[in-house]
Amino acid sequence: MAHVLTFFLVAHQLIFLSNPAAILAAESANGSEIDRQALLSFRQGITSDPLGVLSSWGNNSLYCSWRGVVCGNSPPFRVVSLQLNSLQLAGELSPSLANLTSVTRLDLGNNLFSGGIPKELGNSMSLSYVNLANNSLTGVIPHSLASSSSLSKLILSHNNLTGAIPTTLFTNSSRLTTVDLQRNSLACFIPPFDKVTSLKYLCVTENFFSGSIPPSIGNVSSLLFMLLGQNILTGSIPESLRHFSKLLELDLSFNSLSGHVRLPLYNMSSLRYFSLGSNGLVGQLPSDIGYSLPNLQVLIMQSNNLVGLIPPSLENASNLQVLDLSNNSLHGRVPSLGSLAKLHQVLLGMNQLEAYHWQFLASLINCTQLTKLSLEGNMLNGSLPRSIGNLSTSLEYLFLGSNRISGSIPVEINNLVNLTALSMENNLLSGSIPTTMGNLQSLFILNLSKNKLSGHIPSSIGNISQLGKLFLDDNDLSGNIPSSLGQCSMILQLNLSSNSLGGLLPNELFAGPPLPLGVDLSFNHLTGEIPDPIGPMATTVLINISNNLISGSIRPALGVLQFIQYLDLSWNDLSGNVPEFLETFTLLQKLDLSYNNFDGPIPTGRLFQNSTVVILDGNKGLCSRSPTPLALSICDVATESKNHGVALLPLIVIPSVTIALILLLWFVVTLWKKRVFEFPRWEDILRIIRSVVQTKRREVQAFPCSNNETLKKVSYGDILKATNCFSTVHTISSTRTGSVYVGRFKYDRSLVAIKVFNLNEPGAYKSYFIECEVLRSTRHRNLMRPVTLCSTLDTENHEFKALIFKFMVNGSLERWLHCEYYSGMPERVLSLGQRICIAADVASALDYVHNQVTPPLVHCDLKPSNILLDIDMTARLGDFGSAKFLFPGLIVPKSLAEVGGTIGYMAPEYGMGSEITTGGDVYSFGVLLLEMITGKQPTDDFFIDGLNLHNFTDSMFPDRLAEIVDPQMVREESQPCTEVWLQSYIAPLVALGLSCSMESPSDRPGMRDVCAKLSAIKESFLKSDAEILNSH
């Protein structure tokens, strides 16, 4: 029987082998099954498919019909292309993709893929097109992929890739045409180029490449685009680049390149985009640049060390759209550029250019597409020609400040109806402000300060509905302050100081806009009393009406200014007592009431024990009930008797009110006994209370990211209007995944911060949904919470997502600790008490998310810029875009970029591939605490050769603490107590910061213990502070 079976099997094989059609059919079926299994394995790696893209991918259907799968036109029907671009897919890339051996095109860009690039992809012999851009991929570029002989286009931009470019990528690559690696974290050197014959597009911008540009790149004569900007490249520009005969775009900006730009580089006639800005280049622009670069559209050479003239030959660069030569040392005349009809931007600020009768300005009339003209910080002189009003109506930004411009402001300037910012400060302008200025309805910034303007302030300025900042200080303006300025509901800051303005303070100005950034009316001739209706200005941080003729007393209406930081009423004719409510202004950094006619005893609270904050000189009638640092005389009996009548007032009023209440109660009881009415039953009262409590409970639980019905509806159009079409002047901050704008909706007078997510960037979707989930799952006074949200489509039907928060008037903690880095910011210093309270607030927030949220939540990016200060200086922790819930089985991050933190604040164990834990936040908090005490950033240039903030502080602790304390800190204690306070409060804070920032996670305390210790330090500080004040 066995022999018979063997015979049949052998016969069957012989028949099969003798039939070629059967063999091909079997191979085809086998290949098809491999492709099917590879696709199904890829699908298993997908963790999120919100659009249901892969719902058609089933075991029983033909895979050639699955969405995104493209098969060949003839049998065997193998997969030749996988196209799943921009479909919001999330997960990790499966190595099984390499089993699609016939695939030539792999396009998975613009999704949410994470993890590494499978090294197996490089084994494919047919793969020519790879697009994995705009994801969250980590790890290195596989050597096998870089060595692929079939590869033609490699697009890996906008990810979190690290490491170096494999040297094999640019070696013997005869087919390679495109390499796009921009916006990653790639480092080391750019490898040399050897026998790269077809490369046309090379982009490695926004990485961390160092060293010099390899001269061998000049041998790649096929290059059309060479983009190496925003790296750390050094050395000179290789002369070999002159071999590029077809190059269209060259970007070497924002590096550290030095030396001269070789003349042959200016002879690449094919160039359209030429950017060498923000380097250390020297020399002059060649005189014939306009002829040698006839196709040039963009020329950017700003922030170098260029000298000489601007070549007049630029007039012949007829395709030029952007010219940026700002911040150099160029001199001479500005060439006439009127022949450049396509010109959009002319940026020539911060040079030594001269006007020469403004001929260049008249020529710009022909540039009808001009949107930005920047000439500030030059040596322009003479009068502005009337032809300035004939410039393009598309002009949005006109910067002429810090020159020597004289004469009057041409009335024709009102023709520039789309101006957003007009800056003409620090010149010699004279005459009056044109009344037609009110026609500039799009204006957000108007700066005419530090000139010689005279006449009245036009009331028409009050008609500029978008006006946000108005600076008319240091002129010779006269007349009254127009009441129409109160109609500017968007205005944030007003400065009319150092003029000759007279008349009364307009009630409309103080009853209208909130002016959160302050109002300065000092050094004028204003009269009358301080207006009463000051309520809308309750959020302002600065009021200065010093050096005027203001009379009367300080009205009780000023008591609403609970968030004021600078209040200067000095050198006026104010009288009466210094009111007690000033004691409630806990945020005051300066209170100047000097040189008035105040009399009587001053308040005795803590504020008036600090001579660095309170100035009362020149008020002969003031006295103090006890010795104070303000050097006032002790009040005598006669002075105190003035207040005797006030002291008796409660003795008269309280008994009278008590008698009236007793009579009223007797009257009600009498009516009840006569059954005129009935009191409600106790059960009814309980029912009402229970109903109210349940209603309140429902209100508390309502949250923006989960229950839109409880929120004000905000449309894309509302946000567009509130931000003036996302104007840069409304921008508070920007990151890769989004921007934050300040604005105000028409239906609300309160300012809001609008966080708009850039959904084209990898990680933006993830940040938005994480922030929503965090905010939905948490509720704490020290966490930022949204007012509402907007999830819709924009005008181009692209998805739009934004979160709207309450505007934090006091900004970020970073702006307080390091205000020297923020131009235009007043010097603001945090006292020791404020720093302790802020640290306690942040610790409380972290203790909550670590120990009271299930599962625990790790912020992952704790730093001063993510700590915002409310109007009462309460700290609120924000920006949870990198946060992670500690779910069971949380994937260990494969790179620092995947953690999402910031260098200097990130826990060291994350750099060694450790899992994310709450201990990482504890480390960041320790660094933050040391920064708040020392005033030094962890990335300070001071920290080199292995020295960091922790080691530096530890080496000075505890004996030399006084040497490392932030010298700018305002100490609230009196000088004899300095050493005591240093040991009682600063030493424990430093010790706590050191323990939290220990290198080993096991050596760090938990946030519950940290919060408890900080609460004790805060309580002890406030108690001791109160005792010292009471002793005075």
Task: Tell me which residues are annotated as active site.
Answer: 861
Cα(63)–Cα(231) distance, rounded to whole angstroms? 44
Residue 262 contacts by C-beta under 8 Å, 6 or more apart in sequence? 237, 239, 242
Work out whether strand 129-131 and strand 153-155 pair parallel, antiparallel, or are unpaired. parallel
User: CA of 879: how far to CAs of 160, 783, 786, 860, 864, in Å?
Assistant: 20, 10, 11, 10, 11
Q: Give the closest residue to 529 by CA, choosing from 502, 556, 552.
A: 552
Plot region of 442 (φ>0 → left; ψ -120 to 50 → alpha; else → beta): alpha
Q: Can you give 542-558 as a three-state secondary structure string?
A: EEECCCCCCEECCCHHH
Contact at 8 Å (CB) between 443 and 433? no
Structure-token match 């404020």, residue found:
834
User: CA of 207: how far to CAs of 133, 185, 187, 325, 739, in Å?
Assistant: 15, 5, 7, 25, 21
Instruction: Quote the tokens at residue 893.
Output: 């991050």
Instruction: Quote the tokens at residue 436.
Output: 């037609």
Cα(725)–Cα(743) distance, rounded to whole angstroms? 11
Tally of CB atoms within 10 A around 941 = 6
Helix ranges restricted to H, 737-870: 764-777, 813-817, 832-851
DSSP secondary structure string for all residues of 500-517: EEEEEPPHHHHHS---TT
Q: Where are the beta strands (DSSP E) in 807-948?
A: 857-858, 867-869, 875-877, 884-885
Q: What is the DSSP letter of 970?
A: B
Tally of CB atoms within 10 A around 79 = 25
Q: Which residues pair with 520 in a beta bridge?
A: 495, 544
Q: Give the closest residue to 950 by CA, choosing from 890, 907, 919, 980.
A: 907
Cα(822)–Cα(825) distance, rounded to whole angstroms? 6
Q: Give the closest residue to 772 by CA, choosing from 752, 760, 755, 758.
A: 755
Instruction: Quote the tokens at residue 550.
Output: 């203001």
Cα(371)–Cα(388) distance, rounded to whole angstroms? 14
Contact at 8 Å (CB) between 591 and 614? yes
Cα(598)–Cα(579) distance, rounded to whole angstroms? 10
Residue 228 contacts by C-beta under 8 Å, 6 or more apart in sequence? 190, 202, 204, 205, 209, 213, 251, 252, 255
Q: Give the closest residue to 893 by CA, choosing from 141, 139, 183.
A: 139
Residue 804 contacts by C-beta under 8 Å, 6 or more apart in sequence? 714, 719, 752, 753, 754, 755, 786, 787, 788, 789, 790
CA angle 437, 439, 444 (to 5 degrees): 75
